[in-house]
Amino acid sequence: MSVETINKIAVIGAGNMGGGIAQEFASHGYAVTLIEIDPQNLAKAIESIKTNIQLLIDNDLSPVENVDSVLENIETSTDLQEAVTDVDIVIEAVFEDLDLKRNIFADLDKYCASHTILATNSSVMVPSMLADATQRPEKVIGAHYFYPPFLMPLVEIVKGPQTSAKTANVLNEILTKIGKTPIVMQKEVIGFIANRLEGAFMREAITLVDKGIVSAQDIDTVMKNSIGLRLPTVGPFELYDIQGWDLIAMAAPFLLGDLDTSQDFPEMMKEKLAKGEIGAKAGQGFYSWDQNKIDAVNEKIMVSLIKIAKWRQ
């Protein structure tokens, strides 16, 4: 199978990720079937897709000029077997339940054509955890999108030990064709790339707060007014090349040995979890939250992503 022969895509799961993934392929002319066991979730997904497409159109970020031209490329279905019999790529985007995903991949292996690529959008499960539920491990691969998928360009393509180079190349080419910025991981690793980098930052940030060195609010201020401002423009290896690795090497012995290497949350975090202070959805984390504040932060994120997307054009 080549990119030129791909016509139909199926997306399993009609949440924010699945709906956004379906939207992108449909916006670029592919026939997409969005699959979900709950018809109400499918209806909600279509409404969200309408809103998201219009947002992109209003900001000159859409490859289409009207919402209907995208919606006419999207079918919905509650019948997995019927929906995937003639598709070329399936992207699974259900919640992170290993047994559920393995059952889905086993069913896909039975129902899909022999050439069909089976991809998972999981942010934590590597392809080898799903591949042996099928008879086609060479066609099982990770396709890790980021929220919101219709604005975040990156997709981490994760090769399992048995994933073929052809499978990875086809997925890489079609994602590039629809305007994504994919990277291909040659080996699978838990957390992939972005989540591992973010995890390292999270651990150090929590440690600095736990030790009383700085407040959580000041950590956010530091990120938003220094490192975060550079990240849309330059990556760490570009930046350190410019600064010079000789200077980095001089500073490293002082810094690296003092960074946190713990394998567990600090007691401070365990205490917050025990008190139910789990963040915005509980009304309290390191900040106090209500729906207005949540909406304001989400809007700020969306506006910023739109500005960055327009700047990248």
Out of 62, 144, 172, 188, the active site residue is: 144
Amino acid at position 193, single letter: I
- The angle that helices 39-58 and 16-27 make with each other, rounded to 10 degrees, is 50
d(CA 186, CA 124): 17
Contact call for residues 107 and 129 (beta carbons, < 8 A): no
Buried residues in 259-269 as b, exposed as e (16+ CB within 10 A):
eeeeeeebeee
Name the residue among 92, 76, 143, 86 with its Cα closest to residue 116. 86
d(CA 238, CA 1): 36
Out of 128, 164, 169, 195, the active site residue is: 195
Q: Take residue 35 and report the two structure tokens written for it.
A: 């699959």
Out of 16, 59, 123, 164, the active site residue is: 123
Alpha helices in the chain (DSSP H): 16-27, 39-58, 68-71, 80-84, 98-111, 128-131, 165-177, 194-210, 216-224, 227-230, 236-243, 245-255, 267-274, 291-312
Out of 92, 156, 172, 188, the active site residue is: 156
Q: Catalytic site residue 115?
A: no
Q: Catalytic site residue 123?
A: yes
DSSP structural state of residue 29: T
Contact call for residues 20 and 53 (beta carbons, < 8 A): no
Query: Which are the catalytic amino acids?
Result: 123, 144, 156, 195
